[in-house]
Amino acid sequence: MWGVISYLNSPELVVGFQRCCGLVLRETRSFTPQNGCINANGSDKDGPVTIHRRKAEQVANGTSRAQDSNSNYKCDSSQYEIKEHPRPHYEVRNWIFYFLFVTSATLGHEVFYITFLPCIHWNLDPFLCRRLVNVWAVVMYIGQVMKDILKLPRPPSPPVVKLETRVDAEYGLPSTHAMAATAISFTLLLSAHERVKFPFELGLIVAVVLSALVCLSRLYTGMHSVLDVICGVVISAVIMAVSYPYWGTVDFLQLHSPISPVVAVVLPLFLSYKYPELDHYSTTRGDTTIILACSAGCSIGYWVNERLGLTFDLVGPFPVALPPLTLAALGLGVARFLVGLVMLVLTRQTVRWASLRVLCRIYGVSVSDVDARRRKEIEVPYKFSTYVSIGLVNSILVNRVFVMMGLWDLGNSV
């Protein structure tokens, strides 16, 4: 069993997949430890290389041990053989695979969440968006916490080619991209089947293909091992299977319980502040706060809509037949998407700008001080307030603006 796990976690599997898809490492810059120690995230990109140079200077000055605050890198510098080579370069031999997998990888990034999930709300059914956000938040929180508890490294580079750097300081197992893709694809499939008429087999094929593309993109970009991806899919599937019988109950309590708004704010904020601490900065806490805050804002918004008596949900009995996709309907959908996206982006920029300046003033630090903005007492509240606001605007204001602009037919909602 251990042999199978070691095999699936091998970077050689990732390298083999990259080579099959036409992505090949050409030159490497290495910092070679004689005792086998490597950076905890397995990277040899720009950030760690800078650390390596600093370590070289410390060795020259007689320092016997070094540690960088933004990496999980600890080894005796006296045991290192320092080698400086040209920056890693890779060669793309198949541009079709390159664009396919790089595009697929964005399906697990903020730009996808802030466009796709609201688009479901604006153009299809707010019920489906609510269901997706709830499952997405639970799955992502569990995945992010597991990463920082297990602390298993990402595949090392070299030999793996790494195409992303922002999340390189994060740990590897499980792949939260794989978890999110599985959760979103199959939650939408199962929930939409209850609400609208469509060929279930076709929906199943689409869900499998989208999930597979995101999973394979994590191998292509060199950010995860096969084991990371498989564990991500399995964990997400287990969470969905266990929680599925309770989706309806959670939805009812979320809309009708008088304490729903309190729980929606207090619980995510508590989980954000109590996120596992690391000995180096990682984007996981901030990203988790963003996800929980979006969920909190949307939850409050849906509860408010229920009180106001206008939810913009599809009219039953279910499942309903979707109207034909005409040019006029497509144009209205695109217009709603663009107007809604502009409102969300303006909300993000405005609240982020204001909250950062208030918090930095309270703690007496500069807004331009990146290290200060990474402190928990600043990062958590400014990101939480920003994305709670986005969730509120998405769920309460955007559809009402559509009505004012003539972009929404109230005959299609309740």
- DSSP string across 281-327: --THHHHHHHHHHHHHHHHHHHHHHHHHT---PPPSSSSBPPPP--H
In tens, the pLDDT along 14-32 reads 999 999 988 888 764 444 4
pLDDT over 90 for what percent of the chain? 46
Last residue of a domain, one of 51, 69, 87: 87
Q: Residue 41 has what pLDDT?
A: 43
* 75's tokens: 């080894």
- Clarify whether residues 388 and 357 are in a common domain: yes
Report if residue 246 sits inside a domain.
Answer: yes
Q: Residue 157 has what pLDDT?
A: 79
- Clarify whether residues 258 and 375 are in a common domain: yes
Report if residue 183 sits inside a domain.
Answer: yes
- Clarify whether residues 350 and 239 are in a common domain: yes
- Clarify whether residues 140 and 244 are in a common domain: yes
- Clarify whether residues 79 and 186 are in a common domain: no
Report if residue 325 sits inside a domain.
Answer: no
Report if residue 329 sits inside a domain.
Answer: no
- Clarify whether residues 52 and 147 are in a common domain: no
| Average pLDDT estimate for 272-295 | 89
Report if residue 175 sits inside a domain.
Answer: yes
CA distance 371 to 258: 40
pLDDT higher for 53 or 200? 200
The CB-side HSE value for 365 (13 A sphere, CA atoms) comes to 16
- Clarify whether residues 67 and 203 are in a common domain: no
When pLDDT is cut at 50, 70 and 90, the band that residue 88 belongs to is low
Alpha-carbon Rg for the chain in angstroms: 23
Q: What's this model's pTM, rounded to 2 decimal places? A: 0.80
Report if residue 295 sits inside a domain.
Answer: yes
- Clarify whether residues 104 and 83 are in a common domain: no
- Clarify whether residues 237 and 267 are in a common domain: yes
In tens, the pLDDT along 168-182 reads 777 888 999 999 999
| Average pLDDT estimate for 298-319 | 88
Active-site position among 121, 193, 224, 256: 224
Number of structural domains (the chain) is 2
Active-site position among 89, 109, 177, 256: 177
Residue entry with tokens 């909250």: 355
Q: Residue 36 has what pLDDT?
A: 41
In tens, the pLDDT along 111-126 reads 777 788 888 888 888 9
Last residue of a domain, one of 87, 115, 135: 87
Report if residue 82 sits inside a domain.
Answer: yes
- Clarify whether residues 364 and 284 are in a common domain: yes
Report if residue 113 sits inside a domain.
Answer: yes
For the chain, what is the mean pLDDT? 82
Last residue of a domain, one of 66, 87, 108: 87
- Identify any residues that bridge with 27 across adjacent strands, giving them in sequence order: 89
pLDDT higher for 141 or 64? 141
Based on the residue annotation, tell me whether 85 is a catalytic residue of this protein: no
- Give me the domain span that covers residue 391: 95-319+339-412
- Clarify whether residues 190 and 305 are in a common domain: yes
| Average pLDDT estimate for 129-150 | 93
CA distance 140 to 210: 18
Residue 256 has pLDDT above 90, yes or no: yes
Based on the residue annotation, tell me whether 193 is a catalytic residue of this protein: no
- Clarify whether residues 143 and 66 are in a common domain: no
